């Protein structure tokens, strides 16, 4: 997982609440065999509408998604996170995220930032009135900054923050236990089976 | 205080334990198949990681594989891609693979045990919920998600929070004609599809001890249908005898060391389970499901229940919806339910004993007009054994279709599916809406009931067939 310290980019306002994982990535995309290539499936149904925010040229290349409350409800599909990342998003801001989606996002290095709805409203106004507005999501200082005046701090549990700052996924963390794993392996009985016979 | 079987196996696999953190558990065997592994291998590639222990990893193709014309290219491009991806991943990372056409190919949970790779006291994982099957050997075996598959590939470990323990004690002996499938369906009906949530279930008691290894696998396989993370049965002489002579079973001094360790894998007399359930085996009869979850089952002699008879509002609603989906009405005798399709196979009931049981019922009889019967061995080895015993001929002579090994109609990812509205008697494990094909209706049954139902065209037990047949047990 890539470390996340601070990110600055333009933001897309998504004025919708209760965005479920079926909307983020529809089920028929789950047949794919990769974690890549889900970008065209992201919000597939909504993107058929030319007026949908992601279709507007002024938001092309945006990397921060500012969404309504209860983002990522529904199924546990990790594909929802992959789709957002594949599309280019580095961070999602919302007043509330579904638990499983949030867990998956942090596992994959997509920063989910919880801000009060009033702050989300302000970001929507800023990015709608001037789509070139740059939004900074700073995990070191634990704050979001935008335009000349917007500055709002956010919380993230210490363990999750540490893993993001260090770019550690569960696997990297476990790999730090190399010595314990190797010691355990050295003590495994010889009668345990192996699939490969040398 | 003493420990349970599950706790002993758990403790023996703790790589690292720290206050306030999950235990890091070592994994002895990692099974892979084509559906849940592609993104995990992708993750390894992206991070420049390797498979830590290719010698504890094995892959087979099962979910997407066709059961006809296996020498021809697979028609469905999506299925073909999944299989080709697995082949490339296994080649790139050095993982042993048994692809379609190989003599060791088959459903992942049939392949591990038949190779002797599943042994007592091991930790076994697979990106598949029916990994619980391997618990029949006294292994701690559970299904995992794709991220965890990647974690195990990279580290051969998993951070895990401990399970709770449940004992299901089955007293007495199963009556003649009552099988492991009937028993597990009855257990699930009793504890409910969520009753095992968070637990490892240990099946014990006289009836369990008398079961063959294959029957024990049928029991443990469906633990997940009660919501449990895993099911286990303490290893005994039956277990050791099953393993002897298998490819990967220990031999010589290794066997002695293994068996003396395996004998310690029993729940201590003073151990305490978090929950206990007792079932009287002598009261059981052939069991079938009438609804759309595996807990909605009854003895075959019963009738479709009236949803109003359920005290719990949730269950009442579930029963109403189930009857609607299944096209059944309250009070209808289960024996009157006509089936279009009979499926014998899956990791629940696709082993040689299951095929023998179905064949013994159908031998000298015919599949009823208008009924399609598919017999799909759980693995190529099972198929070869069945052919050596002439079982394939018994099935085809009766009018059944003898197919190639795989998951097949258990989940219909390949072309073997129910058409909308079609009804099956199936030896598989899930009767969910649409599981065997969009709009398909599934009744879960034992191999014996499946075969008898094929003959009569309605849900039936062998005892309902020609009762003058002396080979059949009476009173079933
Ligand atoms: S046979 Fe059915 S339950 Fe078993 S692994 Fe295959 S699809 Fe899953």
- Beta-carbon separation of B258 and A170 below 8 A: no
How many whole angstroms separate alpha carbon B444 and alpha carbon B424? Answer: 8
Assess contact for A113 and A72: CB atoms under 8 A: no
- Beta-carbon separation of A33 and B38 below 8 A: yes
The overall pTM is greater than 0.80: yes
Print pLDDT tens along chain B (476 aa): 899 999 999 999 999 998 867 899 999 999 999 988 999 999 999 899 999 999 999 999 998 899 999 888 888 888 899 899 999 999 999 999 999 999 999 999 999 999 999 999 999 999 888 999 999 999 999 988 788 899 999 999 998 888 999 999 999 999 999 999 999 999 999 998 778 878 999 999 999 999 999 999 999 999 988 888 899 999 999 999 999 999 999 999 999 999 999 999 999 999 999 999 999 999 999 999 999 889 999 999 999 999 999 998 778 888 998 999 999 999 999 999 999 999 999 999 999 999 999 999 999 999 999 999 999 999 999 999 999 999 999 999 999 999 999 999 998 878 899 999 999 999 999 888 778 988 899 999 999 999 999 999 999 999 999 754 444 444 44
**B348-405 residue pLDDT tens:** 999 999 999 999 999 999 999 999 999 999 999 999 999 999 999 999 999 999 999 9
How many whole angstroms separate alpha carbon A169 and alpha carbon B144? Answer: 17
Q: Which residues share a beta bridge with A136?
A: A8, A145
**B75-131 residue pLDDT tens:** 888 889 989 999 999 999 999 999 999 999 999 999 999 999 999 999 999 988 899
CA angle centred on A112, ends A110 and A117, rounded to 5°: 155
B contacts of A170 (beta carbons < 8 Å): 147, 151, 159
Does residue B411 line the site of ligand 1, with CB under 6 A? yes
Predicted complex ipTM? 0.93
Distance of CA B125 to the CA centre of its chain: 14
Assess contact for B126 and B108: CB atoms under 8 A: yes
Nearest to B59 by CA among B90, B103, B24, B29: B90
A contacts of B156 (beta carbons < 8 Å): 181, 185
Q: Tokens for B295? A: 């807990």
φ, ψ dihedrals at B265, nearest 5°: -85, 70
Residue B32 DSSP one-character state:
E
B contacts of A31 (beta carbons < 8 Å): 78, 82
**A174, A180, A191 ranked by CB distance to B159: nearest:** A174
**B26, B42, B116 ranked by CB distance to A193: nearest:** B116
- Beta-carbon separation of B117 and A34 below 8 A: no
A174 touches chain B (CB under 8 A): yes
Assess contact for B285 and B210: CB atoms under 8 A: no
Does residue B128 line the site of ligand 1, with CB under 6 A? yes
Q: Whose CA is nearest to atom 4 of ligand 1?
A: B347
- The pLDDT score that the predictor gives to residue A90 is 97
* Ligand 1 atom nearest to B62, measured from its CA: 6
Assess contact for B130 and B109: CB atoms under 8 A: yes
CA distances from A87 to A17, A166, B146 (A): 20, 23, 21
Interface test with A, best of B12, B19, B26 (most A CBs within 10 A): B26
How many whole angstroms separate alpha carbon B396 and alpha carbon B113? Answer: 28
Q: Which residue has the tokens 């470990």?
A: B157
Show the DSSP H helices in B210-284 as ranges.
213-221, 237-243, 252-262
Q: What single string gives the DSSP state of each residue in A14-64? A: E--S--BHHHHS-GGGGG-SSSS--GGGTTTTGGGSTTSGGGSGGGTT--E
Does residue B150 line the site of ligand 1, with CB under 6 A? no
List, as own/partner pairs, every contact residues B389-393 make where C-beta atoms lie below 8 angstroms and the sequence separation is at least 24, other chains included: B389/B356, B391/B355, B391/B356, B391/B359
**A27-86 residue pLDDT tens:** 667 677 888 899 999 999 889 999 999 999 999 999 999 999 888 875 557 788 999 999
How many whole angstroms separate alpha carbon A182 and alpha carbon B465? Answer: 60
CA B4, B6, B7, B9 torsion-angle sign: positive
User: Torsion angle of alpha carbons B100, B103, B109, B114, nearest 10°?
Assistant: 180
- Beta-carbon separation of A180 and B24 below 8 A: yes
A159 touches chain B (CB under 8 A): no
């Amino acid at each position: 997982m890539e470390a996340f310290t601070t990110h600055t980019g333009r933001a897309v306002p998504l004025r919708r609440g209760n965005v479920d994982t079926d909307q983020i990535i529809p089920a028929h995309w789950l047949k794919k065999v990769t974690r890549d290539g889900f970008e065209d499936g992201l919000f597939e149904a909504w993107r058929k509408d030319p007026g949908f925010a992601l279709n507007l040229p002024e938001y092309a290349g945006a990397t921060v998604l500012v969404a309504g409350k209860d983002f990522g409800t529904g199924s546990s599909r990790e594909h929802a996170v992959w789709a957002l990342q594949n599309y280019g998003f580095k961070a999602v801001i919302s007043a509330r995220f579904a638990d499983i989606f949030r867990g998956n996002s942090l596992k994959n290095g997509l920063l989910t930032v919880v801000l009060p709805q009033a702050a989300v409203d302000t970001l929507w106004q800023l990015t709608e009135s001037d789509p070139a507005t740059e939004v900074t999501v700073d995990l070191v200082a634990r704050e979001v900054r935008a335009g000349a005046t917007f500055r709002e701090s956010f919380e993230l549990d210490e363990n999750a923050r540490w893993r993001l700052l260090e770019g550690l996924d569960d696997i990297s963390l476990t790999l730090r236990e190399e010595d314990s794993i190797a010691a355990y392996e050295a003590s495994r009985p010889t009668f345990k089976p192996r699939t490969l016979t040398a | 205080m003493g420990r349970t079987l599950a706790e002993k196996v758990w403790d023996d696999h703790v790589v690292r334990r720290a206050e306030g953190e999950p235990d890091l558990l070592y994994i002895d065997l990692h099974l892979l198949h084509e559906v849940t592994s592609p993104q995990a291998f992708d993750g390894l590639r992206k991070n420049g990681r390797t498979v830590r222990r290719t010698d504890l990893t094995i892959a087979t193709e099962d979910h997407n594989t066709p059961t006809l014309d296996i020498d021809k290219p697979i028609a469905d491009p999506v299925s073909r891609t999944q299989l080709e991806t697995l082949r490339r991943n296994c080649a790139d990372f050095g993982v042993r693979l048994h692809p379609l056409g190989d003599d060791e190919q088959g459903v992942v949970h049939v392949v591990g045990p038949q190779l002797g790779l599943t042994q007592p006291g091991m930790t076994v994982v697979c990106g598949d919920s029916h990994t619980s099957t391997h618990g029949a050997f006294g292994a701690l075996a559970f299904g995992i998600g794709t991220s965890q598959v990647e974690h195990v590939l990279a580290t051969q470990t998993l951070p895990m929070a401990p399970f709770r323990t449940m004992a299901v004690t089955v007293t007495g002996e199963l009556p003649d004609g009552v099988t492991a499938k009937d028993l597990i369906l009855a257990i699930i009906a009793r504890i409910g599809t969520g009753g095992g949530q968070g637990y490892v279930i240990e099946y014990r008691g006289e009836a369990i001890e008398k079961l063959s290894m294959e029957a024990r696998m049928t029991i443990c396989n469906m633990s997940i249908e009660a919501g449990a993370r895993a099911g286990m049965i303490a290893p005994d002489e039956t277990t050791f005898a099953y393993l002897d002579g298998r490819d990967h079973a220990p031999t010589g001094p290794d066997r002695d060391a293994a068996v003396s360790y395996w004998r310690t894998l029993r729940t201590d007399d003073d151990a305490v389970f978090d929950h206990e359930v007792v079932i009287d085996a002598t009261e059981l009869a052939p069991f079938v499901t009438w609804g759309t979850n595996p807990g909605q089952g009854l003895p075959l002699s019963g009738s479709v229940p009236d949803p109003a008879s359920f005290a719990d509002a949730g269950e009442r609603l579930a029963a109403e919806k189930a009857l609607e989906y299944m096209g059944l009405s309250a009070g209808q005798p289960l024996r009157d339910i006509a089936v279009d399709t009979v499926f014998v196979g899956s990791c629940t009931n696709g082993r040689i004993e299951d095929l023998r049981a179905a064949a013994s019922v159908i031998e000298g009889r015919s599949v009823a007009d208008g009924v399609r019967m598919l017999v799909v061995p759980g693995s190529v080895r099972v198929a070869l054994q069945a052919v050596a015993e002439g079982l394939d001929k018994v099935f085809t002579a009766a009018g059944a279709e003898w197919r190639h090994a795989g998951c097949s109609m258990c989940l219909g990812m390949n072309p073997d599916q129910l058409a909308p509205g079609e009804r099956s008697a199936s030896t598989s494990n899930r009767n969910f809406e649409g599981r065997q094909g969009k709009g398909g209706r599934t009744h879960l049954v034992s191999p014996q009931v499946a075969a008898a139902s094929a003959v009569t065209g309605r849900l039936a037990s062998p005892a309902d067939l020609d009762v003058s047949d002396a080979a059949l047990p009476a009173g079933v």
